[in-house]
Chain A
Amino acid sequence: MNLMSTPTIWIFVPVLLSLVLIAVHRLHKLSVWIACSGSLLLAVAAFIFPETLDFNLLGRSFLFDDTFLIFNRALILTGSQLKTVALLFLFSFIWNIAGLRFSVSRWFPTISLTITALWVSTMAVEPFLYAAVIVELIALVSVLLLTPRGEQTDRGIMRYLVSQTIAMPFILLSGWMVTGIESAPSASTLILRGTIMILIGFSLWLAIFPLHTWLPMLAEKAHPWVFSFVFLMQQCVLAFFLIKVLDQYAWLRNLSGIFPAMQWAGVLTILAGGVLASLQSKVKRILAYILLIETGYSVLAIGLIGQGGGEALALGVLPRALAYWQWSYTLSSIQQIAPEMDDSFSSLRGLFSRLPFHSMSLIISLLSLLGLPAFGLFPAKRILWNSGAGLTFRYTPLLGLGVAGMALFILRLMHTLVTSDTDSPSPAGSITAKESLWQIFVLCFMTLLSLLMGLLPHVFLNPFLGLLEPFIHVLPPN
C-alpha cells in the first residue's frame, strides 16, 4: 500500500475530510469553509501537479505513484487525468462557496465532497467497469441531498434510484461477457450482447431519451442548487467514462454502427429536450430539460468523436458548468428573496421590474446554454452543428427543432418576466426586497465570464483540450 500516491491525495484525503465534516456538520459555516478550502486546495494541487508526478518542493523532489492497491485491485490516477480531477474539485468549490447563501441541506458540504471523491474514484478504479458499483453508491449518497426532509418521498427520486440500480448490472455483466474476446469477429453474438448492454447501461445512467422521465420529476422537488451540482458531476464524468469504455474496448469502437447509434441517441435527446422545454410551465423543471439537452450534446459529441466531437466535449465542460451554476444560483436566489413564489410561470410575471439583474441572469444563462455566439458554449456547439450537418442532412432539421424549442422557451420566459398583469397581480410583483450589491456583482461577473469565454475561447477554453489526453486509442494524439 503506497500512501505517496495520487489516489491517496484525490480520493482518500477528501473522504477523510468528509468524515471530519460529519463531526462538525452542525456548525454549518465551518463545514462549508472546510469543504471549500479542501476542494480549492485539491483543485489547485491537481492543476499544478506535474504530469510526471515528480513534485519538487523547496528543492526536494517527491515522486508520487499513480497506483494504489486495494483488495488486489488498483486505483490508478495518472498525471493526464489530473486536469479532469482539478475540474471536479473546482466544481465542488464553486458550488460549496455559494451554497452557504441558500437553505440547502446541512449535509451539502459533507456529501458534495464525498461525491466528488467517489467520482474521482470511478475514473481511477481498475478494472474500470467496477466503476458501475461506485456510480450506484454515488446515487445512494446523492439521494440524501436530493430529497428534502419533511416531505413525502416522491416518485422522481424513486425512479432515479431504480434506473441507476438497473444500470449497474448491465455495465458489470457487459464487462464480464466480453472479457478476452478482443480478437473475435465484430459480428460475434457476445460482442453484440456486450454492446447492447453497455448502451442500455449508459442510457439509464445518463437519462437519455426516452429514459429521462425521472429527471423533471426530481428537478421539481429538489433544490436547484443541489440538483445542478449532482447532475453536472454525473453528466461530466459519465461522458468521459463512456469515452474511456470506447478507448479501452477496441471491439466496441470498431463495431460498425456504434457511432451512428450514439449520434442518433444524442440528436433525439436534444430534440426531446428542446420540444419538452418549449411546452414547460414550471421553472424548476427547466433545469431537467437543460440537462437532457446537454446530455444529448455530450452523446452526440462522443458519436462524432472522429469529426471533432471530442474537442467539442472538452471545450464545453467549463462553460456548461458555469451556465448551470448561473441558472441554479439565480433561481435559488429568487427563491431565497421571495419564498412565497412557487415554480409556476405565472408567479414570475413582472419579475423584471422587481429583480432586473436576476431576470437578466436567467435569460443570459439560458442563451449561453442555447449556444448563442459570443457565449462560452458557442465554440463547442458550432463544432457539433457543423460536424453533424457535414455527416448527414438528416440531423440538421432535428437539431434545429431542438434548438428552436429551447429558443421558444426563452422567448416565453422573457415575455413572462417583462410583462405584468394588473388584474391578477403575481407573487413576483409584490416582492419588496431589493437586489443587494453583492448579488448584482455575482450575477454580472458570471455573465462577463461567460462572454469572455465565448469571445476568447483560445485563452479560456483551449487548455481544456487536455482533458482528452488519457484517451489515446479513440483519440490518437495529434
Chain B
Amino acid sequence: MNETIRIIAVVILLLSAAINLVRRQWALNVIALAIQYVCIFLLILEVRTPLLAAIKVIVGLMVTTMLYMTLISSGLIESLLIRRRFSSGEVFRSTVALLLGLISYLAAPSLQQSAFPQSSQLLLTASLGLILFGLFQMGTITEPLYLVIGLLTFLSGFELLYASLEFSRALEALFTVVNLSLALVGSYFIVKDVESRSK
C-alpha cells in the first residue's frame, strides 16, 4: 500500500488513541475506538492478507458496537454536540499524550534495530504508541469504560506488533476471542455500575 496512506493511518491511529486518553465523552470515545480499528486494518495489511486483516477490523467494530449498545441502553451516553470546556486533567493528559506519541516516534528506529528487525518503523511506531497509550490509560483510570478502552488499545498495539513477528491461525483465533470477551467484560462492568448507581 502507498506509504503516504500508511503514514496518515498511523497519525490518525495515534490521534484516536490520544482522544480516548484525553477526552471523557463516551460517544466520542467509542467513535475514536472504531477509527482506531479501521486504521489498524490499514496498517496490518503490510503483514497480512486483506482477508485476515479484515478479521481484525470486523472484530474491532463488533467490540465497539457491543460497548456502544451497552452505553445506549444504560442511558448515560451524552450527545456528541455537547461542548464542554477542557478540564485541567484533560490538559495534563494531552501533554502526556503528546509526550507518548513523541516517545513512540523516536523509539521506533532503535527498537527496530535492537529487537524487531523484521517489523517496519511505521508499524513499530503505531504499535508502541498504542501500547503506551493503553498502559497509561490503564494505570491512571478507574472508570470501567476507560479501563476497557485502555485494555483494548494495549492489546491492539501488541497484536499489531506480534502480527509482524509471527503468523498463527490459532493465535489469531485466540486473540479474537480475547477481544470479544474483553468487550463482554466491559459491558458487564458498565451495566453493573449503572445498577449500583440506581440502587
Contact = CB atoms under 8 A, between A and B. Distances in A.
Interface in B146-163: 147, 151, 154-155, 158, 162
Given A130-B170, A158-B142, A153 B189 contact: yes
Interface residues of B, number: 36
A38 interface: no
B144 A158 contact: yes
A161 interface: yes
B188 A144 contact: yes
B195 to A, nearest CB: 6
A225 to B, nearest CB: 20
A155 interface: yes
Interface string B114-145: 01000000000000000100010011001010
Given A153-B193, A158-B147, A137 B170 contact: no
A133 interface: yes
A20 to B, nearest CB: 20
Interface string A118-155: 00000001000010011011001101100101111101
B174 A133 contact: yes
Interface in B13-62: none
Contacts of A134: 174
B198 to A, nearest CB: 10
A422 interface: no
B192 A152 contact: yes
B166 interface: yes
B85 to A, nearest CB: 27
Contact of B154 (A71, A125, A165, A176): A165
B151 A150 contact: no
A394 interface: no
B160 to A, nearest CB: 11
Nearest to B177: A137
Contacts of A168: 158
Nearest to B114: A189
A169 B174 contact: no
B140 to A, nearest CB: 11
Contacts of B175: 133
Interface stretch (B75-83, B86-94, B178-186): B178-186
Nearest to A74: B170
B104 to A, nearest CB: 16
A70 interface: yes
A108 B128 CA distance: 38
Q: Which label, helix, strand, loop or mixed, suits the secondary structure of the A interface?
A: helix
A172 B178 CA distance: 15
B117 to A, nearest CB: 12
Interface in A299-337: none
Given A71-B168, A71-B169, A161-B147, A137 B174 contact: yes
Nearest to B138: A162
Contact of A143 (B155, B165, B188): B188
B178 A137 contact: yes
A345 to B, nearest CB: 27
Contacts of B162: 169, 172-173, 176
A73 interface: yes
Contacts of A153: 144, 189, 192-193
Nearest to B141: A158
Contacts of B165: 176
Given A70-B170, A73-B168, A161 B185 contact: yes
Contacts of A150: 192, 195-196, 199
Nearest to B174: A133
B178 A136 contact: yes
Contacts of A166: 135, 138, 154
A147 B169 contact: no
B8 interface: no
Lowest 6 CB-CB distances: which A-B pairs, in order? A71-B169, A73-B170, A71-B170, A133-B174, A140-B181, A169-B158
Given A141-B181, A153-B144, 16 more contacts: A70-B170, A72-B170, A73-B169, A130-B170, A130-B171, A136-B178, A137-B177, A140-B181, A147-B189, A150-B196, A158-B142, A158-B144, A158-B147, A166-B138, A176-B162, A177-B115
8 contacts: A73-B170, A140-B185, A152-B192, A158-B144, A165-B138, A169-B158, A173-B162, A176-B165
